[in-house]
Structure 1
Amino acid sequence: MAKQERAIRTRRAILEAAGAVFDEHGYTSTTIAMVLERADVTKGALYFHFPSKESLAQAVLDEQVDFGAVPPQSSKLQEIIDTTFVVARRLLGDALLRGSVRLTVDQCAPPGVDHTGPFLQWADHLMGLMEQAREQGELLPAVEPRETVELLVGGFAGIQLMSRALTGREDLGHRISVLWGHILPSLAVPGLLRRLDAEPDRGARVLAALESAGS
């Protein structure tokens, strides 16, 4: 059991180190030596878990959607909103998530690294919530859930890139709030619209509630 726990910790340390290095340098410029130095593990330990740089990059990418977990809400539109704000907030402090997002939009990664995974996984996750929102009568009649979800996923990807370039993502909460301010009136029924919370600090408040519930 102790050996298994050490292996889990080692794998996590490698992933977090790789996320930081991929975020800072991109796929092409990242080397295994950089990850080894950052993770402070042996080459044998790294290759035990990840046989190649491609497999390491894929593992970093596969971690992304888990960072969007939020508490359930009676309004599924609010839950979707919360997901975007929580990811935006976590991007400020989590190197593994930043590395995963960097790899998602890094066009220099080889064909063996699947860029489509995070986009498809996010779309599927949000699609489930959007369908529940429709069943609960939260959406305007003309809303097409799949198209709306793909717009949100693509819009978030572009906005976080712009925020990263201009402010190191410090203004990402504000930018996501502006995005929702434009989108929500075309999605939510009027009775719900005024009750939805898309203020810039929403991510910080949701994360604080999660941490409080877990303590």
Structure 2
Amino acid sequence: MVRQERALRTRRLILEAAASVFDEFGYEGATIGEVVSRAGVTRGAVYFHFASKRDLAQGVVEEQFAQDGVPERSCKLQEFVDTGMVVAHLMPRDPLLSAGARLSLGQDVFDDIGGGAIPGWIGRMEALLLAAGERGELLPHVVPADTAWLITAAWTGVQIQSQKLSGRADLELRVSGLFQHLMPSIAVPGVLGSLRMGPDRGAQVVAEVAAVRAAEEGAGGADDASGASGASGGGVGGEAPVGAQAGVGVG
């Protein structure tokens, strides 16, 4: 268990270093040596986790889908909007997302990693639209697969233009504008009026996720303390009370 946790931490450290290198130099300009230097690990550690620079780039692209981001909503179109707004909020702040975008759109790597993150985002958005359709949130003409493709393409175009013109400083504002223009064409009126699509929506959701995670970690710590107290103070035969055994945090 300890070795596995250490290996996961090392892998994450390598991916974060690789993301900063790919984001700065692009795929062709990036080197394993620079990743080794920034991660503070050995070259052997990098190759233990990733067989080549291509595998490392693929790992950076895939890691963005492994991160917590958007809570599940009863309104799937709100979850749909939240997904786009959270990425807009994090893109200038998270090298993994920024590098993923560069790797997905760069001509020097596009064919090598099969479209990068684009197919994953299309699939994620289509799944949310399918769920929204099952809940009666979509207008009758909406085809989820087509809409997911178009909105992902539009979001990508907004990101590129924002990066070129403002260094992504206005990305949240521009993505908010994109949703405010497009959602009336797919959402039924009763749902449309309830959607929160302001420029600060991504920051709000990120803060919500952080608060939930902090509460869960606090509850887990309290349960651990309770279990330790029970084990030292009163279990029969050295065993902790049943209540202490049952108290585990969600994580």
Please classify the TM superposition score into its range, dividing by the shorter chain length. Answer: over 0.9
Q: Supply the distance in 1 between the matched residues of 2:125 and 2:213 (Cα, whole angstroms).
A: 24
In terms of Rg, which structure is larger? 2
8 Å CA contact retained: 2:88, 2:172: yes
* Residue type at the aligned position of 2:60: V
State whether residues 67 and 90 of structure 1, in contact with CA within 8 Å, keep that contact through their aligned partners in structure 2.
no
In 1, are the aligned partners of 2:69 and 2:206 still within 8 Å (CA)? no
Q: CA deviation at 1:59?
A: 0.9
SS for the counterpart of 1:155 is: helix
1:50 aligns with 2:50: yes
Please give the residue correspondences for 1:27-42 in structure 2 after superposition, counting only pairs within 5 Å: 27-42=27-42
Question: Compared with structure 1, are the counterparts of its residues 110 and 149 closer, same or farther at alpha carbon in structure 2 (3 Å cutoff)?
Answer: closer
Within 5 Å, give how 1:93-132 maps onto structure 2: 93-109=93-109, 111-115=111-115, 117-132=116-131
Q: Does the CA contact (< 8 Å) of 2:91 and 2:98 recur in 1?
A: yes
Secondary structure (helix, strand or coil) at the match of 1:66 reads coil
Separation (CA, whole Å) in 2 of partners of 1:118 and 1:77? 21
Give 2:210's aligned residue.
211
Quote the residue 1:189 is aligned against.
Answer: 188
Unaligned ranges ≥5, structure 1: none
TM-score by length of 2: 0.81
> C-alpha displacement at 1:79, in angstroms?
0.4
Decide which moves more: 55-64 or 204-213.
55-64
Q: What is the one-letter code of the residue matched to 1:199? A: G
Higher RCO (C-alpha under 8 Å, 6+ residues apart):
1
The unaligned stretches of length 5 or more in structure 2 are 215-251
Give the RMSD, CA atoms, in angstroms. Answer: 1.4
Equivalent residues of 1:68, 1:87 under 8 A apart: no
Runs of at least 4 residues off by over 6 Å: none
Post-superposition offset of 1:110: 6.8
After superposition, what is the alpha-carbon deviation per residue over 1:67-121, rounded to whole angstroms, capped at 9, x for unaligned? 4731111211110000001111111221112111110101102744222x52222
Q: Tell me which amino acid in the other structure corresponds to 1:95.
A: P
CA distance in 1, matches of 2:141, 2:5: 51
Q: Distance in 1 between matches of 2:77 and 2:18?
A: 34
Q: Confirm or deny: 8 A CA contact 1:67 1:87 kept in the other structure.
A: no
Q: Does 1:26 align with 2:30?
A: no
**C-alpha distance in 2, partners of 1:56/1:210?**
28
Question: Which aligned pairs between 1:33-182 and structure 2 lie closer than 5 A?
Answer: 33-67=33-67, 69-109=69-109, 111-115=111-115, 117-182=116-181
How many positions carry a matched residue from both structures?
214
Query: Counterparts of 2:110 and 2:152 in 1: how far apart (Å)?
Result: 23
Structure 2 residue identity aligned to 1:65:
F
Letter in 2 for 1:114: G
Question: d(CA) in 2 for partners of 1:68 and 1:152?
Answer: 22
